[in-house]
């Protein structure tokens, strides 16, 4: 069996230990005589899986008691509508920072339901930085303030959170969830699709402060109301059972193999530093993001020559480094090095880049 180093932005790599465990349990989960894929979601055995997943997430992320954890479907993209439908019901206003395509999509969706304001944007420079925020431009009576914490396509991340005072901060953390510790108490709502750093695609995790639940617009579909899922333990309808189970395995891996999020951060910083240091010293490749806003998870880079970029991607693919082609809006390459990418994968990529540079400089 030959496994490649997969630098996909999502769906992305899963820890090999997780895949091995899932395979071993495929036909008979813990003596139940069934695969998790086949179980009733109302069964005791499945209830213990979803309960354990939530308990592990709460423990690993240190989620306070007054927050609900919801396991939903529809991807992070559905949250672009769910957030305004549930929260934009006081003043009917919300602030958005536009730091990339996902942030923009979230803003556009919110603008359909209320007064969505753009407080800042970095579109002028292809989203290669996080805009400096001026609190005096924030809407004081906004129902919430929305950011996309890690910008998957452009490779930027907020190293400092905006100070929104009493206005609840809402963050899309799809591509940085579980990559390092995060102070959940600073947020009203956190949401993340699973397929970057938690599980295969299919489940979206929402972490929401309890007092923000129960204020949805009348037009909100039952399935889009946070209350529906909070009241039913994410079991109002059939949840994405198998994906939640794989998430449990990933959380066990973070807790037992890695040793928690502080350790995860150390490892992620080490991996990212390897690649950034190489880029900063390379005569051929360069990063596209301002150094102070660089992401630990998604690292776009270019040679400055489209033909050479294409040659690099082709040769890298042949050598077993796959999905390195950059997003069409940035061009060049992007290495997504989520939690599951081993240090060795980044070391080997850097060695490959070095060799390519020597051959092509």
Ligand X SMILES: *Cc1c(COP(=O)(O)O)cnc(C)c1O
Of 68, 93, 95, 102, catalytic: 102
In the complex, least distance from residue 82 CB atom to ligand X, rounded to whole angstroms:
11
In the complex, least distance from residue 146 CB atom to ligand X, rounded to whole angstroms:
11
The residue (of 10 and 326) whose beta carbon lies closer to ligand X is: 10
In the complex, least distance from residue 194 CB atom to ligand X, rounded to whole angstroms:
8
Of 143, 172, 293, 309, catalytic: 172
- What is the 3-state secondary structure of the chain? CCCCEECCCCCCCCCHHHHHHHHHCCCCCCCCCCCHHHCCCCCHHHHHHHHHHHHHHHHHHCCCCCEEEEEECCHHHHHHHHHHHHHCCCCCEEEEEECCHHHHHHHHHHCCCCEEEEEEECHHHCCCCCCCCCHHHCCCCCCEEEEECEECCCCEECCCCCCCCCCCEEEECCCCCCCCCCCHHHCCEEEEECCCCCCCCCCEEEEEEHHHCCCCCCCCCHHHCHHHHHHCCCCCCCCCHHHHHHHHHHHHHHHHHHCCHHHHHHHHHHHHHHHHHHHHHCCCCEECCCHHHECCCEEEEECCCHHHHHHHHHHHHHCCEECCECCCCCCCEEEECCCCCCHHHHHHHHHHHHHHHHHHC
Name the residue number minimizing CB distance to ligand X: 75
The residue (of 198 and 313) whose beta carbon lies closer to ligand X is: 198
The residue (of 172 and 309) whose beta carbon lies closer to ligand X is: 172
In the complex, least distance from residue 102 CB atom to ligand X, rounded to whole angstroms:
4
Q: Is 253 a catalytic residue?
A: no
Q: Is 172 a catalytic residue?
A: yes
Of 68, 104, 196, 325, catalytic: 196
The residue (of 10 and 84) whose beta carbon lies closer to ligand X is: 10
The residue (of 203 and 350) whose beta carbon lies closer to ligand X is: 203
Q: Is 102 a catalytic residue?
A: yes
In the complex, least distance from residue 321 CB atom to ligand X, rounded to whole angstroms:
21
Residues of this chain that bind ligand X (CB under 6 A): 10, 75-77, 102, 148, 152, 172, 174-175, 193, 196
Residues serving a catalytic function are 102, 172, 196
């Amino acid at each position: 069996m030959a496994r490649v180093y997969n630098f996909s932005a999502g769906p992305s790599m899963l820890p090999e230990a997780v895949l091995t465990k899932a395979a071993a349990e495929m036909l008979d989960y813990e003596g139940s005589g069934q695969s998790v894929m086949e179980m009733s979601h109302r069964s005791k055995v499945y209830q213990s899986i979803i309960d354990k997943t939530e308990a592990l997430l709460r423990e690993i992320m240190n989620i306070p008691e007054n927050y609900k954890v919801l396991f939903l479907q529809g991807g992070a993209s559905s949250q672009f509508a769910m957030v305004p439908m549930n929260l934009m019901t006081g003043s009917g206003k919300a602030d958005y920072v536009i730091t990339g395509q996902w942030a923009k999509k979230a803003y556009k969706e919110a603008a359909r339901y209320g007064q969505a304001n753009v407080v800042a944007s970095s579109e002028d420079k292809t989203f290669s930085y996080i805009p400096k925020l001026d609190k005096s431009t924030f809407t004081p009576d906004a129902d919430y303030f929305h950011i996309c914490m890690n910008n998957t396509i452009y490779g930027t991340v907020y190293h400092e959170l905006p100070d929104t005072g009493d206005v609840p901060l809402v963050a899309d953390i799809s591509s940085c969830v579980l990559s390092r510790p995060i102070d959940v108490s600073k947020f009203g709502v956190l949401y993340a699709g699973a397929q970057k750093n938690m599980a295969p695609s299919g489940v979206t995790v929402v972490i929401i402060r309890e007092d923000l639940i129960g204020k949805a617009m009348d037009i909100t579909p039952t399935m889009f109301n946070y209350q529906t899922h909070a009241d039913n333990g994410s079991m109002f309808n059939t949840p994405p059972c198998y994906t939640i189970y794989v998430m449990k395995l990933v959380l066990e891996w973070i807790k037992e193999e890695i040793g928690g999020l502080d350790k995860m951060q150390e490892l992620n910083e080490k991996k990212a530093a390897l690649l950034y240091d190489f880029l900063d010293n390379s005569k051929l490749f360069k990063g596209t993001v301002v150094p102070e806003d660089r992401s630990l998870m998604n690292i776009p880079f270019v040679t400055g020559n489209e033909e050479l970029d294409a040659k690099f991607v082709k040769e890298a693919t042949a050598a077993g480094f796959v999905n390195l082609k950059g997003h069409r809006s940035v061009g060049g390459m992007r290495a997504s090095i989520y939690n599951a990418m081993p240090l060795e994968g980044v070391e080997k990529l850097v060695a490959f880049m070095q060799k390519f540079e020597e051959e092509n400089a």
